[in-house]
Structure 1
Amino acid sequence: MADVKLDVSLFYGRLNLLIQSWKDANEPDGEKLQSTGGILLVAGNTDDSNPYKKTGALQTFLLGYEFPSTLTFITHDSVIFLCSESKAKILNSLVKPSSDQLSGNLNIDVQVIVKPKDSAAATSAMETVLASIEDVVSQDKKIGRLVKDKYTGKFVDEWNSFLKTKGKEDLIEQASDVSPAVSLILAVKDAQEREYTEVACKMAQKLMSVMCNQMTNLIETEKKITHEKLADLIEGKLEDVNVWQGAKYAPDFDNTYADLCYTPIIQSGGEYDLRTSAQSNSERLKDKGIILASLGIRYKSYCSNVSRTIMIDPHPTQEANYNYLLELQKFALGELKEGIAANDFLNTVKSKVAADRAELESCLPKSFGFSLGIEFRDSFLTLSSKCTRILKQNMIFSLTISLADIEDPFDSAKYYSLQLIDTVRVGKERSTILCDGLKELSHIAFFFNDKPSKSKNGKSQTTGKPASASPNKSTHSPRKAGAAVVTTSRKGRLRNDGKEIDNEATAKRKLHQKELAERRQEEGLSKYAEDDGTGKGSEVKQWKRFESFPRERDLPSAVASLRIIVDTNKRSFILPINGFAVPFHINTLKNVVKQEEGDYTVLRFMLVAPGQITGKKEDTPFEDPNATFIRGLTYRSTDNEHMNEVYKKVTDLKKAVLKREKDQAEKADVVDQDQLIEIKTRRPIKMLDISVRPSFDGKRQAGDVEIHTNGIRYQSTLRSDHRIDILFNNIKHIFFQPCDQELFVILHIHFKSPIFIGKKKTKDIQFFREASEATFDETGNRKRRRQNNGGDEDEIEAEQDERRKRSELNKHFKSFADKIADASDGRLEVDMPFRELGFQGVPFRSSVLLQPTTECLVHLVEPPFLVVTLTEVEVAHLERIQYGLKNFDLVFVFKDFTKTPIHINTIPSGQIENVKEWIDSCDIPFSEGPVNLNWSAIMKTVTDDPYEFFKEGGWSFLNSQSDEEDEDGHSDDEDSAFEVSDGVYGSSSDDSDSGSDFDEDASDSSGGSSGSAEASGSGSEALDWSDQEKRAARADQKKKKGAGESSSNTKKPRGREPSDDSDSDVSIDSEEEAKKQKKKKAPARKR
């Protein structure tokens, strides 16, 4: 408070007003003042939770500032201040003023008493004040105080302790409450107070305009934001100098003197609280319906209040009600005038509503406003039925005209509210709004959608924007966006190989899945409640500034020739335009085209500009999209050699820049690892003669793996520069896979962040050793040919040696993996695949054995490797679950929606129950559907607005899809053969019944139970192993002889041929899609 200077004239002028009103008090609320000889104000520490207290208001009224930890005692002829030394320096300016600073014939003695830090001296100072109080009491006068103000702090505690010591607590406790009388004195504002209030109103109106623009922009661009976040955003605008630039609300206007009376209140979505204590909640701002926005600004301690109703695609009845609200406010302004009692004003307004619109009378508020000034809300002067005070000219009120809980015309189960608040000044004939605006229906009603919809009364109305492409809406469901529904017949179904599904276990699994789905839904709503709706998937690209040459003198000297010059160092090319050398950065170039036209060579430079269709870069941001852009420049010259050279340099430069950007993007998620701390005190634990994948140069190399303090190191034995350091803090999973039934024993590490091995980026590294080597014993072979027993002893001995070697390798690798885990201080645990739970599938291009572990689903045998961390999986979805299909697909959707879902295709249908049971045991909710979904479109919808996605049902659309199919698509009485559509939701894998070579290869490579018979469309009876081997042999022979495809000799499937008649029960969404289906069915007819 060192810079505070008091306005002495203002102090004495307002003190004179206070004392004169005190002496002349003749109103009911002023009766206590007549018997009061002194007013005692004891202010403690500043209370941020409740800044509006009458003690502070009276201090501000008199002094222009609030003085915490200060005692003020006012009588008819004196004012005593008890405060600290620093405050006393400021208040001393009030002592012995000059004659021109005094107001009227006021003769008041002002005394400033310093309360020292020393307790004895402080007691002496407080005794001086107490003596003045006792002097007033001795004259049979009471002490007045503001009873409702409760202060805390050291100053207040010391004062109360002093009174208790002196036995004078009753003297203060029995004091009269003069709050109502002080309230009436402060209610009438002088010229300066009205000026400050008017400035506060203008600022509030400006900020309300900013808020409305912000809201409408968010709605128009379909960006989502919560009420709380929008309120915080608007609160930050108060200190934004750009908002107040050029504002001249007063000659000495300074926006730094302003503060918010309360955090802006924003409400939408059918739940409205019209009280001043309402708060913005964490719900999303709705893009249709009624939005209520309220805010108040305090300028130089004087408050204002404003509230507006924003209407998005309103119903005509809502517009009519709002117009009546405007009419009602005009009527209220005419009735709110000097001489009327507050309760009479309320009754007058209510009578008008009862006469005009009786159905709205119950929607009116209990209070039409309150007096405001230094205090935001004066509870002693409200426009309610309980307040009988007479209004006076120049009183300032927050006038509230509102209608609450009106039935929503779009939904009878919901309600809406309308509110209009303005700060008004009471006049002799009527009240006037201190800053009017943003009120007419044309200013606050916005229409973003011209699509008509019917309200509950059947009339066609404009309602909201079109439904978003959320996957759980039936009109935009991924299943119904052009894909043909697959149906089957009994004859096309596969047998279940005699297995019976345990109904009780299935029921338990369904119940567990329901609980998991509900949990995911709740987690999603909670997680994304604060999301602003832009989503990671729709992040706006940032505009990048490119600078070729900062100054003109930096241009190369060759520009004087006015020829096209390419500067590779500056990544720029310089074009002559009208005699000037104009540089262009290579990033501004879209492409360059060279053409030969007779003796001329023509170069066309096509530049990047807004509005162009440039594929993936069509959303390229620009600093000012409304600026004038050059889209293309054409040059021609007979100097063909130079033009060819320019063309080559420009294209090479463009390629180099694109390659550099690609390399940077590839390295974006690569983190710099810490330095490996080597063990110096002893020899590190080491495993010798180990191969690594991926390798440095693509060739298998032997090396050693060492365990150090904070990680492990691989060192090639052939080249010293082939070294890989792996830190424990970057290891996400470590797997040990034994060589049982495999060619290799494997120690596999999956990283948290990728690293580079040579020039290859990888998230996995694998150390392995071959389990057995191919050996040929020519001597033994001859021996076996000479002996009659066939040499079984040698064969048995070789098998035993191999088993022993495999066992030793497993033990060696497992021990080393455990030592790595121990060295990590418990951060790592060695995981191991469960082969017995494995199943065949196609995660990439070939069918492999996928094996669950404790935390993951993995394929580690050969690259590309697959590691799916199950705790990161949001949901799993089983696709192509239909009778008659011999395999299905599995999709894992990650909790990080920006990650591409993992597809595992062509899983044998015989494994479906095992897969479901395993997924359920991992606490992952799963669903199933009859067709492949377009996951790129689904994930785009999810990432665009995750909160809205979960609010509209989340992943429940996946289950509802399969339920609809069960209801509509399947019938046991139908006899049509199944048909599969590839529609817009075509799978990444082909159906096994299509007879493709891919399935034969997958079956052969997997060695699983599916066999080649499935790929060739077998009959009703399954083939055993000998039949399958014979068929495979015949197929190989025919391929060698060039006899055509092996599928030509396969049995013809039973049932009718796929046809286009109505019995096939195939739903196709368009005529064009039907033509595609006929083309796809043609090969089946040929067969």
Structure 2
Amino acid sequence: MADVKLNVALFYRRLNVLIKSWKDANEPDVEKLQSTGGIILVAGNTDESNPYKKTGALQTFLLGYEFPSTLTFITHDSVTFLCSESKAKILAPLAKPPSDALGPDENLDIDVKVIVKPKDSAGSTSAMETVLSSMEEVVSKDQKIGRLLKDKYTGKFVDEWNAFLKSKGKEALVEEAADISPGVSVILATKDAQEREYTEVACQMAHKLMSVLCNQMTNLIETEKKITHEKLGDLIEGKLEDASVWKGAKYAPDFDNTYADLCYTPIIQSGGEYDLRTSAQSSTERLKDTGIILASLGVRYKSYCSNVSRTIMIDPHPTQEVNYKYLLELQKFALEAMKEGVAAKDFFSIVKSKVAADRAELELCLPKSFGFSLGIEFRDSFLTLTPKCSRFLKENMIFSLTLSFADIEDPFDSSKTYSLQLIDTVRVGKEASTILCDGLKELSHIAFFFNDKPSKSKNGKPQNAGKSTAVSPSKKSTSPRKGGAAVVTTSRKGRLRNDGKEVDNEATAKRKIHQKELAERRQEEGLSKYAEDDGTGKGSEVKQWKRFESFPRERDLPSAVASLRIIVDTNKRSFILPINGFAVPFHINTLKNVVKQEEGDYTVLRFMLVAPGQITGKKEDTPFEDPNATFIRGLTYRSTDNDHMAEVYKKVTDLKKAVLKREKDQAEKADVVDQDQLIEIKHRRPIKMLDISVRPSFDGKRQAGDVEIHSNGIRYQSTLRSDHRIDILFNNIKHIFFQPCDHELIVILHIHFKSPIFIGKKKTKDIQFFREASEATFDETGNRKRRRQNNGGDEDETEAEQEERRKRNELNKHFKSFADKIADASDGRLEVDMPFRELGFQGVPFRSSVLLQPTTECLVHLVEPPFLVVTLTEVEVAHLERIQYGLKNFDLVFVFKDFTRTPIHINTIPSGQIENVKEWIDSCDIPFSEGPVNLNWTAIMKTVTDDTYEFFKEGGWSFLNSQSDDEDEDGNSDDEDSAFEVSDDIYESSSDDSDSASDFDESASDSGGSSGSAEGTESGSEALDWSDQEKRAARADQNKKKGAAESSSKNKKGKKGRDPSDDDDSDVSIDSEEEAKKQKKKKAPARKR
């Protein structure tokens, strides 16, 4: 409390209000004060469990702060404080009243004494005897001592005071004291200008948090995320300290959110069980995504409280809307009836009579209290809006006006009930009361509609058939509904027509029947597999608390701590800070960050430590052994020894970086399995394939090497460096692919691992051995060059092509033979797979459009990194996205049976290939569905993993098919916006998945190549896209045969920026600078038009 500075003028003004009300009592409650000649307040230790006590409230009213372990004795002409020496220094300025403390017509002749209570026993007794003598002086005048009877304090100070009275035989002075609590309540109920300002700021902050709570709640419901009432309340409680929430807020000239606190943890209730009492607590039940949700919270700003409660309605019934509208009307009526001079019990009767006259069926649903006075105390029990309170309302009193209807029969289920509640903080006026901060209560603000199920009339026929219910007037729904009912209706005309090609209706019908069977099988498998789940949501990984130990014993501390300087011990990964003469060690993992600043001649170091409740990215997930313990969030040191402080800063930051790097490396190696030793063949030479290149390479540079087959695996050995060796065991090979060079510039032997391995410092799940097949080379400008320098005409060119074809066939035969030998050496554990080019289709799995080719067991892209390998037997379902009329392409998503894996996205597949893709997926016995938009798969998979059995119980993947079913049933339905939001990460690489891209992606980004090639640092011919090279070579040959005129005509079609999926000539290139200039001249007139 060293920085506390009291407002002396305010103290005397409010002391004058207290004594004036005390002397001139004209109310029954305050009249009780007249029989007393003194008021004693004995405050003990702060009670965190009950912060609202009248002793503290009266202290705050007079002083602006609460003073624990302090005795205050007030008479008509004196105020005596008994406290410690540190508090006495703060209270000392009160001894001299300022000249402008009171108005010109007011006079307050009062003596303020501050008595220091020493720590020694004799001095303490002497100080307390001074207070006792003042109390005995009051009693000698036949007057009683007044005290706040209900306040119970504990602590050393209180114990010493009670023991002192007992030793003097004066316990009766306190025990027989009069209870002045009602009188103090009346005095504190009327608020002055500053009190009203603080309360209004508290109300504005409460409404801001309520707005955040409503947005958070609706987002959770939209994304189908599950959260308990208690956790949601804690989440909103953390927002109070989030500076970003209050950024730009100007609730008061000196507004500072650090002066605010919550009156209570926000109360969230849903699911039909509602407790409308102020003592209610959020349960551990999950937040329901339908029905009525009640949310209440209160903010305390500079000790002054506010209260607000709102009702959130999800897909409400019309009768619920009617009842809520009446609740709004009732609040307007209550505000008009709540004015100066009206007794609290009369106000209650007026409001209740209004309900009895308008809606008699709701009279029994009214609460027993319509609110209470609030201020420094959250709830003043002596001033409530109940039929038993006879106290009168006065202008500038502040009340929490509580209107609610409890236990109304639920129109959706007669066995259940629901409640409505509306609470606002109001100020009593002469003619009517006003809400200090209004808003967020109109039906358009709190009603949200997600369900498109048509309501039924009394005759059982659905109303508004074929239409989708609109989303909330304030916000659209963008999420799937539980059980598969997506808020979407799409007309039949919105489907693609396969670019005018005729579809075999019989085959399509068979495919639909087969797909229905597959979907039912998946549903049955899901229910059976996850039937024993406990539904606690184990899909998300729970972070475990870790204990860090710096120095087990005190003697382990370095001897340098005696200097009481900041010391960094890199061996123990700790830093030692001097605190109050003690050397206190901190493990580096407790450090959030350290900041160095220069302030004049001083260098300042701020150590920010990790603590619960911090809103810093994902730190709210940081586990703690005891989150309720007291934490140090930061320590600040300053020194003129700038060099030492700079050295400390560097050591701490370097240590933090080293620890983070180590943790990152450990996390990266978490899924890497230690392989067995390769058993080399000793009795004969191993089968070997020479002069082979490998991807990924060790240092980003292309190297040639040899591949050998051994007893339990294969080995790659670089011919340039003996330490560049890769051992691959058969038991870690998941797939082995051979891709011939018939349509490519390289022949490939590709291996996909079960568990990733390290090649150099790169982790990868794929390794590829290849050799170039083309005799042609390319310079850096992409122009084709022949090694043959003579122009022998067409005959020589034909001979060269035949020679190249022969070499390609030899390469294919050589690689295929070697792949088969690997399979044979594995004793039947491996089978060589080969892509089917005729079934391939263009798509964008990562950054660029590539040819994706099915194999017997997989869908692959192997020509260039990043590679794609999707094991089809591991796919749960496939979903086709963006199936809409007029779109030239669509997207494909594979969801894996391991729901913790990120789904694979293949984007921008040409629409003309949709039927081929469907037939292929169906032939692989994979159920598929289709929809008009991209779905938020992150949110969907979170829902699945949180409670997998509940997901299948509610329909499983049927929600993906609901859109297509709606189209088949109603061909004339109007197009609607999708209930799913477009996924933000739809185009991100899924390199972490076991059957996804290899970690070449990292090297690709390093090299800056747009294609994601891992060879981006190599020479020009090696860094080029292989498929582009082949296309350019083929087109160049064709252009030479057909002549420059035909070449120019074709190049007009190759428009820059055209989608590569629109046609096969999208990659047409100009083969020389001279032709480029000709093309430019020919196209110029067209641009002028």
Taking structure 1 as the reference length, the TM-score comes to 0.50
Taking structure 2 as the reference length, the TM-score comes to 0.50
Larger Rg over CA atoms = 1
